[in-house]
Amino acid sequence: MSFIKVYIHFVWSTKNREPFLDSKELRMKVWNHIRENAKEKGIFIDFINGYSDHCHCLVSLGVDQTIQKVMQLIKGESSFWINKQGLTKEKFEWQDEYFAVSVSESMIDKVREYIKNQEEHHSKKTFQQEYDEFINKYGFTKHKDFG
């Protein structure tokens, strides 16, 4: 048996950063659904939260899981479910692009706390400001579809 522990902090936004997830109640419904659906698919979500236009998700990858496949399963199924449930006034979509950064064992609690405090965090800062910080912190170059 192989023993794997690889944590990835995923961040993705709604299409065109539309504030589709405009209430705490709606967000909780979506995050809970994503968590339960991921569990059914064998994806371990350690922590999930977000704001009206984006989602943060801390995932522990399984031995046969790739970043691309995990994102495809989570985003694809959740947008389908949101639309099927009629949870938003307009057709819901996630942006194609996403961030995915590895998280060392020593930083897990700090990342959990960061994800947990999204409501408070975004009362002071927009997703664009957060996005720019991610770009700078992790040395990414801006991509036309995401930035």
Tens of pLDDT along the chain (147 residues) come to 778 889 999 999 999 999 999 999 999 999 999 999 999 999 999 999 999 999 999 999 999 999 999 999 999 999 999 999 999 999 999 999 999 999 999 999 999 999 999 888 777 888 788 878 878 887 877 655 554
In a domain, 147, yes or no: no
pTM confidence score: 0.88
Give pLDDT, residue 143. Answer: 56
In a domain, 1, yes or no: no
Residues facing 59 on adjacent strands? 8, 45
Residue-range definition of the domain harbouring residue 30: 6-138
Give pLDDT, residue 146. Answer: 53
Please tell me whether residue 107 adopts helix, strand or coil conformation.
helix
Residue in 57, 32, 30 with CA at minimum distance from that of residue 112: 57
In a domain, 30, yes or no: yes
Strands in 14-145 per DSSP E: 44-51, 54-61, 99-103
Q: What is the CATH number of the domain that holds 105?
A: 3.30.70.1290
Domain count, the chain: 1
In a domain, 84, yes or no: yes
